[in-house]
Amino acid sequence: MSFVEIHPFNNAYPIPEGARTLVVGTAPPPRFANPNCAGEGAHSLDFHFFYGSGKNRFWKFMNAIAKSFDEPLPGDEAPAAVYEAAARKFLSLHGIWFKDVLQTYERIPQCSSFDKDILTPSNEQLTDLHRVLDQHRSIVRLAFTAELAAWWTFQSLDRLDLRDAYKRTLTDRKFSADSAVPFDAKAECATFAKPFLDPIITAELSGRKVEFFQLPSPSAAGFRPKGVTDECLAKIYKQVLFPG
């Protein structure tokens, strides 16, 4: 029997007024929402916020970006609550926030943190992203940290045409990494980055144009070619999430 998890952060941290970019993932590791998995895979740097697993590289990228803006976040020695507050302030000031696509969800096995082990959600289990975009009209771009996050987002939006366009673009980009977007990086990084720099699709939603981007996975288990470093990934995240 599977355990129904309720997303621990989606409603606990409302989207700030004026947010322009929404980072959309699937759900945090089960130790954050399933008492049966408490401590499973725990890390000393865990904190209770989006991408708060100490094994996830998202905040490593944000640390590097914040430092490049001369707005450094607290170091690893800071208490989790202090880091969490600083992280929220940093992203809010830059018009970035989070809303994972799953609101309730089940996994088999229940303590697996792999997206492939999340049971296919019903529409009722998804975050109502129509409502999110209607209520937060400043949001003009969504950035996915996982392909399933994109897949289920288009299900939530009842736009299977966008799902098809997303799938076609992913396929096309496997054979062509052309991009007109300038990107200052070493050759290996620049080649890897090209498919992520352009919007994967653009659509009219809630009366405005919304751009959808795919980010490289921040998961420690995410694939990256030889020569693609955390510094490279941080550059990609900075270009997509902090435009202009």
Name the residue range of residue 178's domain.
5-241
CA-CA distance, 142 to 211, in Å (whole number)?
Answer: 6
pLDDT of residue 142: 98
Report the alpha-carbon distance of residue 183 to residue 236 in Å, rounded.
Answer: 9
Over the Cα atoms of the chain, what is R_g? Answer: 17
Strand partners, 105: 5
Query: Domain containing 72 — which CATH number?
Result: 3.40.470.10
Confidence label for 9 from pLDDT (cuts 50, 70 and 90):
very high
Q: Count CA within 13 A, CB hemisphere, residue 174.
A: 5
Interval 224-242 mean pLDDT: 90
Angle at 191 between CA 186 and CA 195, to 5 degrees: 135
In single-letter form, the type of residue at position 39 comes to: G
Q: Which two tokens stand for residue 64?
A: 């590097």
Mean pLDDT of 1-5: 88
Cα–Cα dist 99/150, whole Å: 12
The pLDDT of residue 86 is 95
pTM of the model: 0.94
pLDDT tens-digit map of 39-77 = 888 888 899 999 999 899 999 999 999 999 999 999 989
What's the structural domain count of the chain?
1
Looking at the DSSP bridge assignments, the partners of residue 158 are none
